[in-house]
Amino acid sequence: MSSTKRFDHSGSTFDNFLEEEGVLAQSEAVALKRLIAWQIELAMADKKITKNAMAKRLSTSRTQIDRLLDPSHVGVSIETVARAAKVVGKRVTFQVVDEEIVRRAATKRSSVASRGKSIKSAKGEHKHIA
């Protein structure tokens, strides 16, 4: 018989679960880096800038560009991200927000998503959406 404790997570948010597991900060960092890498990669494709050309414009190596665009490599400096964004015609902004506001918003989104909604179609029929 297993002696591991089980915790009932019903009513909790996913952030609560990650926090209890001790991986919330790392998960947020990876998610943020994934978003940044994706946006820079899209902008590079839009401007038709290759990784080699990007490396040249940033006076760095192709390996550093690979790290910049690697969603799981969170050790990229803010300065590097800002410089890369500038090369592709973008600007980086950061915001520090109150944790309680973020928690309340996540709980509200979770609650609304679990209830689902009903919409009225063009034909006047009510349809349930999740």
> Residue 87: inside a domain, yes or no?
yes
Would residue 2 count as lying in a domain?
no
86 assigned to some structural domain: yes
Assess if residue 125 is contained within a domain. no
Could you tell me the residue range of the domain that residue 24 belongs to? 15-95
Angstrom distance (rounded) from CA 70 to CA 113: 31
Answer yes or no: is 121 within a domain. no
Which two three-digit tokens encode residue 103? 């928690």
Q: Could you list the pLDDT tens digit for every one of the 130 residues in the chain?
A: 555 666 555 556 766 676 676 767 778 888 889 999 999 999 999 999 999 999 999 999 999 999 999 988 888 999 999 999 999 999 999 888 888 887 787 777 666 655 555 555 555 565 555 4
Whole-number pLDDT of residue 55: 97
Identify the CATH number of the domain in which residue 37 sits.
1.10.260
Q: How many domains does the chain have?
A: 1
- Does residue 114 fall inside a structural domain? no
pLDDT for res 119: 56
Give me the pLDDT at residue 11, please.
55
pLDDT for the residue 106: 73
Q: DSSP characters for 63-125?
A: HHHHHHH-TT-----HHHHHHHHHHTT---------HHHHHHHHHHHHHHHHH-EEEE-TTS-
* Confidence at residue 113, expressed as pLDDT on a 0 to 100 scale: 59
Domain-located, residue 84: yes
**Residue 40 domain-assigned (yes or no):** yes
